[in-house]
Structures are given as structure tokens and as C-alpha cells.
Amino acid sequence: MSKSTTIPAPGPGAQESGQGRPQPVAAPRMVKQRRRRPGLIALSVALIAVGGLSGAVLYSASGQRTPVLVVTRDVPVGTKLTKADLAEASVALAPAVKSVKASKAAGLLGQRAAVDLRAGSLLTPAQVTDKSLVGPGQQLVGVSLKPSQIPATRLSPGQKVLVVSTPDADAMETAKESGLEAKPQTVAASVVAVGSPAVGTGNVVVDVAVPVKDGPALAARVATGNVAVIVDARGGS
């Protein structure tokens, strides 16, 4: 009788060769895991947190708006402020920017512009004053002027001018006979108010502040009508 031979079945992890014999299988490679760096992770988290905080601060600052006063039209220096000169605006301001809160608008009416105010500009506390343009030791004199006795450029309160007394024909003739030169007399003054031109004549009354010693004499010269006003270059225009 013939004996039968039993070939054992290949076990797990074995491959059969061409002759039916099991071949060993190479062990799988171990994947080396990357080492985690706790310090680097912590730094990344910190940078993300700082960036988010900065963005939140900037967003919060840009969203905080303050109601303040702005100038709606040009206001010459010395002019009294009216309700039409100011308006409320809500803006975001840096802490260093000086401004006037909109809630104080009523208290500014009737006060004067300390400087020339420009339309669209932010009003600051230093630009407004409650002081009169007629200071201590000064008098207010009204000067009536024809169009030919005043510059074509409109005068504004606070502007420095010279009021010139022009000698009349008789005074000039008398001075000539005496061998003298009839020189015009001048008085330094500052404009307080400018009236509207009279209908028909165009005459304008300009209120000026002058030293007390010059007030009466200037008023007497104005009464003769022989006066003129010129802009003092030192005061600017």
C-alpha cells in the first residue's frame, strides 16, 4: 500500500512559492512618530491669542464714537456763535484730540470765535472765548464809511485796521499858506463789528475799539466825514 503525505497548510504571514512551499513574510516597518514640541505649540497658541486680542481692541476702539461739535460754516474771528454755526457729529477720536462735546452746544451760543473757524472743522475749546473784543482801557467808536473809504474786501471782527483822518480842502489850504504839510492823522484800532451796507448809498458803519485817549478825537473826525479805513498789515487779513 502507498502512504499518503500531508503537506501542512501555510500559516498566517506566509506566502507560497512556486513549488508550493511557504515563504517567510517581512515584518511591517514601524512608522516613527514625530516628537511633539510643547514649547512650540504653546508659543503658537500665545501668538494666536495676542492677535485675536489686538483685533478685538482695534474693533472696540473704532466702534466707540463720541458726539462732538463741528463748524458748519466759516466764522470770522470775534463773531458771536449762533445755532446755525454748529452741528453735532459722531466721530471716533484719539485720546489726545481736544474737542467740545455736543451736549455743551447751548452754552457756547453768544460766545465769540477766538480764531477764524472753517466749515467742516472740529471745534476745540481754545477756539471759543467769552471775552469781549473791547478790552480794558478801550472805547468803542462807530465809523460811518462810504464805499470809497473802505477796502472792497469785507472786514471781520478782530481785524487790525488804521482809521485815517483825511484833511479837508480848507485845512490843506491853511497848512499850505503856513508853509506846513497837512499830514493825515491815524489811529490804530481793531474791528468789533461790521454793519450791512445801507440801501442806496452803500455806506457801512464799522465799530472799532480804540484806546481811551483816542476815542473822543476820533469821534470828532468821523463826524466830519473825512475819514477812511485801511487794513493794518501787522494784523493780517
Look up residue 201 and give its amino acid. Answer: T
pLDDT score of 45 more than 80: no
Q: Which of residues 61 and 218 earns the better pLDDT score?
A: 218
User: What confidence tier does 166 reach under pLDDT thresholds 50, 70, 90?
Assistant: confident
Cβ partners under 8 Å of residue 153, min gap 6: 231, 237
Q: Is the pLDDT of residue 15 over 60?
A: no
Contact 129, 112 (CB under 8 A): yes
Residue 61 has pLDDT above 70, yes or no: no
Q: Which helix (H) or strand (E) holds 224?
A: helix 215-224
CA distance between the termini of the chain: 140
Look up the pTM and report it.
0.54
Which cell numbers hold the place of 3?
502512504
217, amino acid identity: A
Kindly report, residue by residue over 143-155, the tens digit of the pLDDT: 999 999 999 988 8
Q: Is the pLDDT of residue 219 over 70?
A: yes
Other beta carbons within 10 angstroms of residue 37's beta carbon come to 9
CA torsion, points 153, 71, 206, 196, in degrees to nearest 10?
80
Give the Cα separation of 212 and 128 in Å (integer). Answer: 27
Q: What angle do CA 24, 28, 32 make, to 5 degrees?
A: 155
* pLDDT band at 226; cut points 50, 70, 90: confident
Is the pLDDT higher at 39 or at 121?
121
Average pLDDT over residues 3-8: 53
Please give the Cα distance from 7 to 13 (Å, whole number).
17
What is the mean pLDDT of the segment spanning 206-230?
92
pLDDT at residue number 37: 62
